[in-house]
């Protein structure tokens, strides 16, 4: 049994897979965004081109996926395929929802960033840093001046010899070193804070000691050479180290000023690169999620609409007569109940149609048997009467039998030939017919068919000027001649032996197949509306001597060769019979066969081509 599988078309991955990829993309966005901001704020520069290429790889790949999905969807919409309008409308709803949800956040974010940038650019960080530096220098100068005053006015010998004595304000410690015999410096005295003590003299030169951190954190050192102070030998033998306290927060404050100055320099550098950084951030971290959202929306649209599209297609095929179709639903499909109901309905219709077809066949054969019995009974009566007449004359007046013998025998022979013709046509109508696989030239066959009638009916004008000489169809030549002969004889009878019979060919296209349209037009009395609905019915005839099997045989031949026959007629103006025969494929598609069965009824007025015709040349 045929099945229609409900699966999204042109989908590279499923909606579930796309959602998983979306979550992974969000995680990677969070991780990379942290690294991106830390590196940017540390260096103050836009990432290098190589990093840009790496970062933009994911958006580029997603953009390709989106382009393929969008092209396929737009292709369906442009081609007006089944369900394309519903897909477009559903996708438009998704986009509107996303826009409505994202618009307020985007607007608020944009305004916030704009205000932050404006406030950021209004801050004069350079002036604040410069003022802080001047203040630090002033504080340091103040302490140095105070230390200079202590150096001039203080008797350090007094304090050096008394370890427990309180030192002058600002002086943190006094430490004495003496050069030993082995050349090492040894501490000989210490007064003051213990955290100022050093293991050895930081310098042998008289004067301020170059500050080294963290050794001199919060202090200024000054070295006094004892020999120089005593005025004796200039070689230093004793050194006195004075430590002046700057305060615990002085060095930390100056370091903080320099650190913040470096950070402000990075911030100032970011001002010039702010717009490229924002564009880069949205391009790398926001644009991919937007692309993924649109890809998921398109895939979800296909997933939602595909079952409906398949139901529509299946309904169309059922309407065209294909009751063997069954739809295979996916597990967990929301439309599963509807699909199962549809399948059950189609199965019930198939059973009902089979029963109806069987009953119809029985009825048809019963009617045909009754018609055939009636048609056979009609000639049997004159045959019986003629035989009884000869027998009666033979018994009563044998010498006069010659007077009636010839006429009676001719009547019997005539009626017998009529029975033979009737049985031959019945056999032609009922037996299977194999379509021909040979090509037959239409114009050549038509000319051969009408040649005998040209001489027999001088009052009839045969117009074959519009028969194309290069068109051929796959049909048995004898059968084609039989079709044309039936139509020509009917046309001659309808015109009373005087008028015009025109034959012409046209090429038409129905869906994906090409057909040759052969038309036979007469200028006869036409076919009435009531008669038109019955002319393809076996044994229906309006002629006194007709069998009613000519047009049913014509229709049978045309249908068996993959064609369709119908007519257009108006009373008093004539009739045109149209025959469409395939020129691409020998077989007739199922939908064309169904359409051919529905074309039996004649139409009054202008000609209308059958449904499905898209081009006529």
Whether residue 612 sits in one domain with residue 516: yes
> Is residue 377 domain-resident?
yes
Q: If we measure between CA atoms, which residue out of 60, 52, 69, 242 comes closest to residue 144?
A: 242
Contacts of 520 (CB under 8 A, 6+ apart): 484, 487, 488, 491, 501, 502, 503, 576, 577, 579
Whether residue 558 sits in one domain with residue 458: yes
Last residue of a domain, one of 289, 319, 349: 319
Domain around 289: 3-122+273-319
Residue 471, exposed/middle/buried by CB under 10 A (0-12, 13-18, 19+)?
middle
Band (216; pLDDT cuts 50, 70, 90): confident
Cis peptide before 15 (omega within 30 of 0): no
pLDDT for 190: 86
> Is residue 188 domain-resident?
yes
User: Mean pLDDT over all residues of the chain?
Assistant: 75
Q: Which of the given ranges, 56-60, 594-598, 612-616, has the highest pLDDT on average?
A: 56-60
**Whether residue 420 has pLDDT greater than 90:** no
What SS3 state is found at 528? coil
Number of domains in the chain: 4
Q: Which long-range contacts (CB under 8 A, 24 or more apart) does 110-119 make?
A: 113/278, 117/274
Q: What angle do CA 392, 396, 401 make, to 5 degrees?
A: 70
Whether residue 584 sits in one domain with residue 465: yes
> Is residue 344 domain-resident?
yes
Within 10 angstroms of residue 422's Cβ, the number of other Cβ atoms is 19
CATH number of the domain to which 577 belongs: 3.30.565.10
- Tell me the average pLDDT across 243-265: 80
> Is residue 48 domain-resident?
yes
Digit-coded pLDDT (tens) for 439-459 = 888 899 898 888 888 878 889
Task: Please say whether the beta carbons of 65 and 73 come within 8 A.
Answer: no
> Using CA of residue 119, residue 121, residue 125, residue 127, what is the dihedral sign?
negative
Digit-coded pLDDT (tens) for 220-230 = 999 987 654 44
> Is residue 85 domain-resident?
yes
Residue 240, exposed/middle/buried by CB under 10 A (0-12, 13-18, 19+)?
buried
Band (497; pLDDT cuts 50, 70, 90): confident
Whether residue 401 sits in one domain with residue 481: no
> Is residue 607 domain-resident?
yes
Digit-coded pLDDT (tens) for 297-318 = 777 777 777 777 777 777 877 7
Distance, CA of 68 to CA of 74 (rounded, Å)? 10
Q: If we measure between CA atoms, which residue out of 323, 286, 293 comes closest to residue 590?
A: 323
**Whether residue 595 has pLDDT greater than 50:** no
The end-to-end CA distance of the chain, in Å, is: 39
For 460, phi then psi, to 5°, come to -105, 130
Digit-coded pLDDT (tens) for 153-212 = 888 888 876 777 788 888 888 888 888 888 788 888 888 888 888 888 888 888 899 888
pLDDT for 53: 63
Higher local confidence (pLDDT), 79 or 112: 112
Whether residue 179 sits in one domain with residue 91: no
Q: What is the pTM of this model?
A: 0.38
> Is residue 144 domain-resident?
no
Distance, CA of 371 to CA of 541 (rounded, Å)? 12
CA 597 to mean position of chain CA atoms: 37
> Is residue 141 domain-resident?
no
Distance, CA of 282 to CA of 288 (rounded, Å)? 9
Last residue of a domain, one of 429, 464, 492: 429
pLDDT for 565: 92
Q: What angle do CA 113, 115, 120 make, to 5 degrees?
A: 90
Whether residue 165 sits in one domain with residue 94: no
* H-only helix segments in 497-549: 529-532
Digit-coded pLDDT (tens) for 379-419 = 776 788 788 888 888 888 888 888 888 888 887 887 787 77
Contacts of 447 (CB under 8 A, 6+ apart): 464
Digit-coded pLDDT (tens) for 314-354 = 787 777 777 777 777 666 565 667 777 777 888 888 788 77
Task: Please say whether the beta carbons of 466 and 504 come within 8 A.
Answer: yes
Band (118; pLDDT cuts 50, 70, 90): confident
Whether residue 160 sits in one domain with residue 24: no
> Using CA of residue 253, residue 254, residue 259, residue 263, what is the dihedral sign?
positive
Among all chains, which residue has been given the structure tokens 């050479």?
Answer: 225
Whether residue 189 sits in one domain with residue 91: no
Whether residue 420 sits in one domain with residue 544: no
The DSSP output letter for 473 is E
Rg (CA), the chain: 56
**Whether residue 20 has pLDDT greater than 50:** yes
**Whether residue 74 has pLDDT greater than 60:** yes
539: tokens are: 């044994």
Within 10 angstroms of residue 257's Cβ, the number of other Cβ atoms is 17
90: tokens are: 């559903």
pLDDT for 590: 33
In the chain, the percentage of residues whose pLDDT exceeds 70 is 72
Digit-coded pLDDT (tens) for 509-550 = 876 678 899 999 999 988 888 787 788 877 677 776 666 777
Q: What angle do CA 10, 320, 313 make, to 5 degrees?
A: 20
* H-only helix segments in 187-286: 226-230, 248-272, 274-281
The DSSP output letter for 194 is G
**Whether residue 375 has pLDDT greater than 70:** no
Whether residue 551 sits in one domain with residue 504: yes
For 544, phi then psi, to 5°, come to -70, -30
pLDDT for 150: 87
Whether residue 390 sits in one domain with residue 285: no
For 349, phi then psi, to 5°, come to -65, -40
What SS3 state is found at 160? helix
Least confident of 2-6, 268-272, 387-391: 2-6
Task: Please say whether the beta carbons of 479 and 579 come within 8 A.
Answer: no
**Whether residue 617 has pLDDT greater than 70:** no
Whether residue 491 sits in one domain with residue 608: yes
CA 232 to mean position of chain CA atoms: 102
What SS3 state is found at 462? strand
H or E, element range at 34: helix 15-43
Q: Which residues of 576-614 are buried (b: 16+ CB within 10 A; e: fewer)?
A: bbbbbbbbeeeebbebbbbbbeebbebeeeeeeebeeee
């Amino acid at each position: 049994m045929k099945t229609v599988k409900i699966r999204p078309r042109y989908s590279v991955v499923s909606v579930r897979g796309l959602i998983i990829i979306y979550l992974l993309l969000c995680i990677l966005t969070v991780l990379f965004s942290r690294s991106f901001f830390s590196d940017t704020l540390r260096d103050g520069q836009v990432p290098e081109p190589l990093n840009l290429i790496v970062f933009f790889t994911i958006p580029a790949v997603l953009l390709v996926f989106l382009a393929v999905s969008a092209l396929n969807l737009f292709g369906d919409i442009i081609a007006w395929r089944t369900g394309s309008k519903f897909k477009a409308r559903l996708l438009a709803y998704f986009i509107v929802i996303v826009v409505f949800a994202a618009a307020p956040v985007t607007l608020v974010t944009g305004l916030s960033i704009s205000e932050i940038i404006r406030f950021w650019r209004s801050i004069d960080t350079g002036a604040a840093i410069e003022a802080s530096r001047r203040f630090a220098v002033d504080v340091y100068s103040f302490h140095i001046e105070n230390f200079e005053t202590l150096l001039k006015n203080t008797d350090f010998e007094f304090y050096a010899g008394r370890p427990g004595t309180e030192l002058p304000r600002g002086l943190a410690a006094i430490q004495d070193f003496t050069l030993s015999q082995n050349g090492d410096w040894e501490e000989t005295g210490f007064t003051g804070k213990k955290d100022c003590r050093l293991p050895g003299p930081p310098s042998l030169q008289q004067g301020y000691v170059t500050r080294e951190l963290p050794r001199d954190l919060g202090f200024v050192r000054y070295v006094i050479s004892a020999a120089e102070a005593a005025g004796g030998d200039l070689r230093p033998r004793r050194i006195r180290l004075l430590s002046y306290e700057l305060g615990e927060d002085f060095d930390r404050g100056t370091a903080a000023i320099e650190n913040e100055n470096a950070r402000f320099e990075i911030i100032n550098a970011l001002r010039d690169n702010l717009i490229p950084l924002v564009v880069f951030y949205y391009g790398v971290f926001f644009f991919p999620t937007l692309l993924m959202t649109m890809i998921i929306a398109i895939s979800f649209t296909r997933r939602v609409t595909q079952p409906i599209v398949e139901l529509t297609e299946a309904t169309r095929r059922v309407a065209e007569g294909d009751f063997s179709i069954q739809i295979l639903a996916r597990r967990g499909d929301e439309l599963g109940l509807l699909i199962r109901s549809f399948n059950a309905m189609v199965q019930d219709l198939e059973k009902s149609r089979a029963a109806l077809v069987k009953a119809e066949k029985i009825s048809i054969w019963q009617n045909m048997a009754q018609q055939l019995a009636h048609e056979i009974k009609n000639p049997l009566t004159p045959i019986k009467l003629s035989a009884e007449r000869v027998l009666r004359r033979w018994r009563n007046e044998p010498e006069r039998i010659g007077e009636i013998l010839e006429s009676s025998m001719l009547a019997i022979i005539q009626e017998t030939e009529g029975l033979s013709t009737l049985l031959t046509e019945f056999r032609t109508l009922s037996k299977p017919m194999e379509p021909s696989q040979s090509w037959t030239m239409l114009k050549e066959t038509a000319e051969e068919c009408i040649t005998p009638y040209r001489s027999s009916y001088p009052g009839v004008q045969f117009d074959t000027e519009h028969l194309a000489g290069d068109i051929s169809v796959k049909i048995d030549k004898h059968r084609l001649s039989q079709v044309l002969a039936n139509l020509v004889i009917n046309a001659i009878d309808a015109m009373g032996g005087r008028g015009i019979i025109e034959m012409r060919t046209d090429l038409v296209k129905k869906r994906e197949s090409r057909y040759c349209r052969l038309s036979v037009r007469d200028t006869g009395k036409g076919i009435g509306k009531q008669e038109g609905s019955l002319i393809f019915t076996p044994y229906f005839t309006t002629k006194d001597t007709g069998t009613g099997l000519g047009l049913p045989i014509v229709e049978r031949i045309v249908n068996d060769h993959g064609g369709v026959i119908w007519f257009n007629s108006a009373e008093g103006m004539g009739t045109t019979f149209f025959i469409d025969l395939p020129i691409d494929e020998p077989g007739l598609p199922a939908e064309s066969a169904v359409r051919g069965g529905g074309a039996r009824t004649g139409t009054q007025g202008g000609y209308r081509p059958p449904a499905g015709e898209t081009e006529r040349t």
